[in-house]
Structure 1
Amino acid sequence: MSDRIHPYTRVVGAIIVPFLVAAFMLLYPLAATTDRFFAWTILPPITAMLLGSAYGGGIVFFVHVVRPNRWHAVRYGFPAVLLFSVLLAMATFIHLDRFHFGFLAFDVWVTLYVTTPFLVVAAMIVNRGEDSRRPAERDVALPGWVRLLLALIGLCSLAVGLVLFVAPQFGMSVWAWTLTPLTARVCGAILTLPGMVNLWMLRDARWSAFRQIFQAQLVGLGLILLALALRGGELLWTRPAAPVLVCGLVLSFIAYSALYIWAERRRPGHQRV
């Protein structure tokens, strides 16, 4: 087995990256202007920045897909992308009345989320069997307790995300800031991303299978924390979810960073100063 990324998959990644960059720019630095430039009006702006943070992490992930790389280093990100894109496609058609018909951004959004699930499934199929399951040359085996802990965190994130998506009214009543049914479902879809990745850690102990995906997750988490710092006034601190969410994100960023540094320092050939 070659452990290669199929050329088709690289092409898909190369197509997706520019859309992610454009969406990030519209949603993160221009979060307060979605009524004029995005596919639908997102209020409060912190929700737009949350979605933009997911796209920021997605840029890092798909750059790894496009560049010379091994399939096993990115494969566990694809099921997460598939679920995320399916949920956003469903949310779009459930709440179609909330979108800006006639806007180019709307046409691009619908086209992207109608086609992406099929493109991702095809990528998973053409790369099927490429992973030899052997450790990379400079690899580290993650301890079982670390993988179990991260899988449990991922399961919680996945469960909360699915509850938000299926029961948005419940999410609207408890979330850390004001949501609509559409944005509750979008926030739920975002929370499924780390959940779908972390659960695969129960199956695979290779750090090389998660290293580059963790880079994307750290970028996404860092952007979310920056958004919270910039838009903290939009948080509803009277709701218990606000401090829980903020503390959870901070602790997750610290834990992910610590694991990344720990694993990198144990990779064969790492230069210790």
Structure 2
Amino acid sequence: MDASVRDDRVLPITRWVARIIIPFLAAAFLVLFGLPTRTTELFAWTIRPEMTPIIMGAGYGAGVYFFYRVSTVDKWHTVAPVFLGITTFTWFMAIATVLHWENFNHSHVTFFLWVVLYAVTPLLVPAVWVLNRRTDTGEPTVGDATLPRGVRVLGGIFGLVVTVSAVALFVAPELMVGVWPWTVSPLTARILAGWFALFGVVNGAVVLDERWSGARILVQSQLLGFSLVLVGVVRVWDNFDTSNVLTWGVVGGMVLYLGAILVLYLAMERR
């Protein structure tokens, strides 16, 4: 079927890519979120303390939900913006792997899976986005609510600030190592910067599309991801330096953001 026909469909190749990625993300979620103290035995490298693998696991859990939706939805524009963030994230992961090659457990099967995943997806994900975006009409469907202009502008500004900050932390991870609320190494600082970049880019993407249907699944994924992270915060609160003002800024910021997008979601669903 011609991918240039603008009927907003999800192409078969997009669905198959999503189905192939889901098991990788599900396995990472189970190990990192479920067993964060056992990364030496079960993951590609040892991660200490537990809060970093919990954040990673929460992100992969949200990714399982997102790619499940990619494999089942009918309209491409409902999932398209997240592909931009995932592309950015995969490039951060690939570069961090090369820069910190010596930190990985090269004899573990999960290291092989990690390398395969982040050797392939930095090219595969944007290729799928480029191919499938040609089907999008860019037009709202009948009855589709539109995001308020103020929300889109605020989301765009916020996303830009987060993305620029993520790039800065990736380039100079020592900025994060000395001040972060829990202990991070240069490798884990760069990994977390990758997650921040994904978050920033998808928030910035709301500027490009006024359709609420184009943001709904993104917001649902974020609701799941941030909820899991905050559950993790409670689980490993002893990882945090409570004398560090940034602890309260990071945790409080996540709570406020989760509350804000929940209010947005409920308000938009009532329209």
Please classify the TM superposition score into its range, dividing by the shorter chain length.
over 0.9
Give structure 1 stretches of 5+ with no counterpart: 267-273
Letter in 2 for 1:183: T
Please show how residues 1-273 of structure 1 align to structure 2 within 5 Å: 1-266=6-271
Separation in 2, partners of 1:56, 1:138:
31
Query: What is the aligned partner in structure 2 of residue 269 from structure 1?
Result: none
**Shift of the alpha carbon at 1:139?**
1.4
TM-score (structure 2 length as normaliser): 0.96
Separation in 2, partners of 1:220, 1:149:
21
**Shift of the alpha carbon at 1:121?**
1.9
SS in 2 for 1:174: coil
**Shift of the alpha carbon at 1:85?**
0.5
Query: What is the aligned partner in structure 1 of residue 3 from structure 2?
Result: none
Letter in 2 for 1:206: R
**Shift of the alpha carbon at 1:232?**
1.0
Aligned-residue Cα RMSD (Å) equals 1.0
Q: Encode CA deviations 1:189-210: one digit per residue, 9 max, x unaligned.
A: 0111121111122221110001
**Shift of the alpha carbon at 1:122?**
1.7
User: Are the counterparts in 1 of residues 83 and 125 from structure 2 also a CA contact under 8 Å?
Assistant: yes
Letter in 1 for 2:194: A
User: Are the counterparts in 1 of residues 90 and 118 from structure 2 also a CA contact under 8 Å?
Assistant: yes
Separation in 2, partners of 1:131, 1:218:
26
Separation in 2, partners of 1:204, 1:196:
14
Letter in 2 for 1:36: E
Separation in 2, partners of 1:237, 1:166:
27
SS in 1 for 2:133: coil
Aligned length: 266
Letter in 2 for 1:127: N
**Shift of the alpha carbon at 1:163?**
1.9
How much identity, in percent, do the aligned residues show? Answer: 38
Separation in 1, partners of 2:141, 2:79:
13
Query: What is the aligned partner in structure 2 of residue 270 from structure 1?
Result: none
Q: Encode CA deviations 1:169-189: one digit per residue, 9 max, x unaligned.
A: 111011111100000001100
User: Are the counterparts in 1 of residues 76 and 133 from structure 2 also a CA contact under 8 Å?
Assistant: no
Separation in 2, partners of 1:95, 1:145:
41
User: Are the counterparts in 1 of residues 85 and 198 from structure 2 also a CA contact under 8 Å?
Assistant: yes
Give structure 2 stretches of 5+ with no counterpart: 1-5
**Shift of the alpha carbon at 1:133?**
1.0
SS in 1 for 2:119: helix
Separation in 1, partners of 2:191, 2:149:
32
**Shift of the alpha carbon at 1:160?**
2.4
Which structure 1 residue ranges, 4+ long, deviate > 4 Å from structure 2? Answer: none
TM-score (structure 1 length as normaliser): 0.95
Separation in 2, partners of 1:188, 1:171:
9
Q: Encode CA deviations 1:41-83: one digit per residue, 9 max, x unaligned.
A: 0000110001011101111110111113211001101110001
Separation in 2, partners of 1:191, 1:152:
15
User: Are the counterparts in 1 of residues 182 and 240 from structure 2 also a CA contact under 8 Å?
Assistant: yes
